[in-house]
Chain A
Amino acid sequence: DTAVSQTPKYLVTQMGNDKSIKCEQNLGHDTMYWYKQDSKKFLKIMFSYNNKELIINETVPNRFSPKSPDKAHLNLHINSLELGDSAVYFCASSLSPSTDTQYFGPGTRLTVL
């Protein structure tokens, strides 16, 4: 019955590597999001997609590239990982861009060594 799921839950990798985090929602929502939670627990939006189209792109390095193969999936690919990328990444979804309630995944803890 998982609503928003993310894989992997934990990801440990070396600097310079390329990695992906996957997100899937089975709620039938049109809109999906990626957030980054830093070491001080502050959450900041990175991207938002509506029906596979990008609608929000905050100031994020272009090493981060979201991909939405269909509206139920929003994957996050990160190239040339840096130490500062270490964080917890949360995926979320909402019914539409104008629906304010978002449902969050369990998070992916990324550690870059």
Chain B
Amino acid sequence: AQSVTQLDSHVSVSEGTPVLLRCNYSSSYSPSLFWYVQHPNKGLQLLLKYTSAATLVKGINGFEAEFKKSETSFHLTKPSAHMSDAAEYFCVVSDLVGANNLFFGTGTRLTVIP
């Protein structure tokens, strides 16, 4: 069975400093992994996805994530936080056995301090 654990419910960084949002997954198969972002009162937007190609995945807005099978992790990073990055971030694993199904983590709220 698939599951996702986001280790921090809230992360606070200063503008211009690095961002690290942690995610660990559990999957019986070769997973597809995603990060989605939800800005306040907005829908979900796909940031990036991993589907068994390159382990370092680059997404939009300068974000990237590295798939580490040995650590079952898919942490999201960005070298320098911007005020507009303040949002809720969801790590997601895909179950491709049978019908498609996304399993969402509980989310990490990123606050960026000016």
Contacts and interface: CB of A to CB of B under 8 A. Distances in A.
Interface string A72-113: 000000000000000000101010111111111111000000
Contacts of B43: 90, 104-107
- A41, A50, A92, A98 — which one has the most chain B CB atoms within 10 A of its CB? A41
Contact of A40 (B38, B44, B106): B106
B99 A104 contact: no
A108 B10 CA distance: 24
A60 to B, nearest CB: 14
B10 to A, nearest CB: 11
Given A40-B106, A41-B88, A41-B106, A56 B99 contact: yes
- Chain A residues touching B, range: 20 to 34
Contact of A48 (B38, B88, B101, B107): B101
Contacts of A98: 96, 100
A31 B102 CA distance: 13
A45 interface: yes
Interface in A17-75: 31, 40-45, 48, 50, 55-56
A98 B100 CA distance: 6
B46 interface: yes
Interface string B41-65: 0111110010100000000000000
A41 B107 contact: yes
B25 interface: no
B69 to A, nearest CB: 17
B90 interface: yes
A45 B88 CA distance: 18
A43 B37 CA distance: 13
Nearest to B105: A42
Contacts of B99: 48, 50, 55-56, 97
B24 interface: no
Contacts of B101: 45, 48, 56
Interface in B72-104: 88, 90, 94, 96, 99-102, 104
Interface of A: 31, 40-45, 48, 50, 55-56, 90, 92, 94, 96-107
